[in-house]
């Protein structure tokens, strides 16, 4: 029986609050100039609404804080490890679970173990750290999302899907050079878009045909599963944990950041079926992260993750979560602000290339829009475009597939009035987008330049 009322009630009430600090527009202009127009270089307390990332920024629940008190800090065989292991395997029944301090540590271990120069790793879309970890081994990272997944305005229920023909063609040609096929759920760099079970089954069949393993980059698995229950024929009303287990059953392993859907502030894991590979990965874990029953984590972190895993597959939580992201997207749509369609799970992506047609990709329209949102209203978003992806391993530069600004929504953190304020600021900045400048980079590192590059406005 559907509820008679539309308003989505946050499935929690507030128990402890953090103050926000209000700066003037002049103060913000000075802060961002001093930061070299790189929002990663701001002090977080100079930000009013922080939509830089949904990673590790969610509000933990009462029960997660309580679980922390159960943390057992034994070096080996801690009860907290077994609590964590059971919670992970309840959803992802892989025999080997290797705890890491966050997702990129799992990526580093996996690709160190399996990738090398001359190899190629396909993914629907690599996240930046995933791409960097693949390229660091000398292998090539290739994005094979369906064509609709590269077109911000194309509407498709599963825009994160892998292009099966392109994957088949790549494997027909080079299967021997492909150590793993990765599928990112949801597809973060492509707009937080879900992948269907049908598509995952298609990827699995191709991997089987060529004898290549399939791994999930599963950071936002619960949001992906919720979209499946909303959009995939045959799964209407299915149980979210069942859908997650069905996703896991199609894969040989996973990399994971517990800072996303599991609502922890830190943590991650690598899980897999293959015994030999697991042993090699555990040996690398011991070198860089820690003993296999804690990895890079304290016992208390393992407890918080275990509890978060139970909460993030709750359907009241997921309904609120996905509905509140859509609420922001719908309001921006009504104000004619171009965004990636449909709304993603964890974020709304502004289409800076469409909004700032006077700024060419190599003058970074996404950076320009992100800086303007901070200057206007203290909102910190994240450029996902040519700054993040435009620098190639050989040092040349090319436009990224899209120039987006991601407004990522931390889990259970901001209220609807915070979001209403964001709508007001974005709409105002969009109305004067034609006056926003391009930028040039004045300093940058060789890799992952978006974190530390310094910029200057053009003209």
Q: Which residues bind ligand F0G (CB under 6 A)?
A: 53, 55, 102-104, 127, 129-130, 184, 188, 217, 219, 257, 259, 268
| DSSP annotation string for 129-188 | HHHHHHHHTT-EEEE-B-GGGG-TT---TTTT-B-HHHHHHHHHHHGGG-S-EEEESSBG
Shortest distance, position 270 Cβ to ligand F0G, whole Å: 12
Q: Which residue has the tokens 């790793």?
A: 121
* Residue 5 CB contacts under 8 Å (≥ 6 apart), including other chains: none
Shortest distance, position 384 Cβ to ligand F0G, whole Å: 9
Q: CA angle, 39 as apex, 37 and 45 as ends, to 5°?
A: 120
Shortest distance, position 30 Cβ to ligand F0G, whole Å: 26
| Peptide bond between residue 342 and the one before it cis (omega within 30 degrees of 0) | yes
- Asked whether the beta carbons of 405 and 370 are under 8 A apart, the reply is yes
Give the nearer residue to ligand F0G in terms of CB position, either 127 or 317.
127
Give the nearer residue to ligand F0G in terms of CB position, either 40 or 210.
40
Shortest distance, position 159 Cβ to ligand F0G, whole Å: 15
Shortest distance, position 450 Cβ to ligand F0G, whole Å: 11
Q: Is 113 helix (H, G, I), strand (E, B) or coil?
A: helix
Shortest distance, position 378 Cβ to ligand F0G, whole Å: 19
Q: Which backbone phi and psi does 177 adopt, to 5 degrees?
A: -95, 5
Give the nearer residue to ligand F0G in terms of CB position, either 106 or 433.
106
**Token pair in block for residue 219:** 């950071």
Q: Closest residue to ligand F0G, Cβ-based?
A: 103
Shortest distance, position 448 Cβ to ligand F0G, whole Å: 11
* Residue 196 CB contacts under 8 Å (≥ 6 apart), including other chains: 157, 158, 161, 228, 231, 232
N-to-C CA span, the chain: 59
CA nearest 376: which of 3, 28, 69? 28
């Amino acid at each position: 029986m559907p509820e008679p009322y539309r308003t989505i009630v946050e499935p929690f009430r507030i128990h402890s609050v953090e103050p926000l600090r209000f700066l003037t527009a002049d103060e913000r202009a000075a802060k961002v100039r001093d930061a070299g127009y790189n929002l990663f270089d701001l002090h977080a307390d100079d930000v009013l609404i922080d939509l830089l990332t949904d990673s590790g920024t969610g509000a933990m629940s009462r029960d997660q804080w309580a679980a922390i008190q159960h943390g057992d800090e034994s070096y080996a065989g801690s009860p907290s490890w077994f609590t964590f292991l059971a919670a992970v395997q309840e959803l992802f029944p892989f025999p080997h679970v290797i705890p890491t301090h966050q997702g990129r540590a799992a990526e580093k271990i996996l690709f160190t173990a399996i990738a090398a120069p001359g190899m190629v790793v396909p993914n629907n879309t690599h996240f930046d750290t995933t791409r960097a970890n693949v390229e660091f081994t000398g292998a090539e990272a290739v994005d094979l999302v369906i064509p609709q997944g590269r077109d911000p305005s194309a509407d498709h229920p599963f825009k994160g899907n892998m292009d099966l023909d392109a994957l088949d063609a790549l494997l027909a040609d080079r299967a021997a050079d492909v150590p793993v096929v990765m599928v990112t759920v949801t597809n973060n760099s492509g707009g937080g878009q879900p992948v269907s079970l049908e598509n995952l089954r298609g990827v699995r069949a191709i991997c089987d045909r060529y004898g290549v393993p399939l791994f999930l980059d599963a950071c936002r698995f619960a949001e992906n599963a919720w979209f499946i229950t909303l959009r995939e024929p045959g799964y209407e009303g299915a149980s979210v944990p069942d859908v997650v287990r069905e996703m896991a059953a199609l894969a040989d392993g996973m990399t994971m950041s517990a800072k996303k859907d599991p609502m922890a502030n830190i943590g991650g894991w690598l899980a897999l079926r293959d015994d030999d590979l697991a042993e090699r990965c555990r040996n690398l874990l011991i070198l860089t992260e820690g003993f296999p029953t804690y990895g890079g984590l304290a016992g208390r972190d393992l407890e918080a993750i275990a509890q978060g895993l139970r909460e993030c597959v709750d359907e009241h939580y997921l309904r609120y979560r996905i509905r509140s992201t859509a609420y922001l997207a719908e309001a921006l749509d009504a104000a004619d602000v171009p965004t990636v369609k449909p709304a993603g799970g964890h974020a709304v992506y502004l289409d800076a290339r469409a909004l700032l047609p006077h700024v060419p990709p190599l003058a970074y329209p996404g950076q320009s829009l992100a800086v303007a949102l901070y200057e206007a209203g203290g909102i910190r978003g994240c450029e996902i475009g040519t700054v993040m992806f435009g620098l190639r391993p050989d040092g040349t530069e090319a436009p990224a597939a899209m120039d987006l600004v991601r407004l990522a929504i931390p889990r259970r953190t901001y209220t609807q009035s915070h979001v209403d304020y964001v709508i007001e600021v974005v709409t105002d900045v969009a109305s004067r987008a034609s006056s926003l400048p391009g930028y040039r980079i004045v300093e940058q590192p060789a890799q992952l330049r978006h974190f530390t590059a310094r910029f200057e406005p053009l003209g």
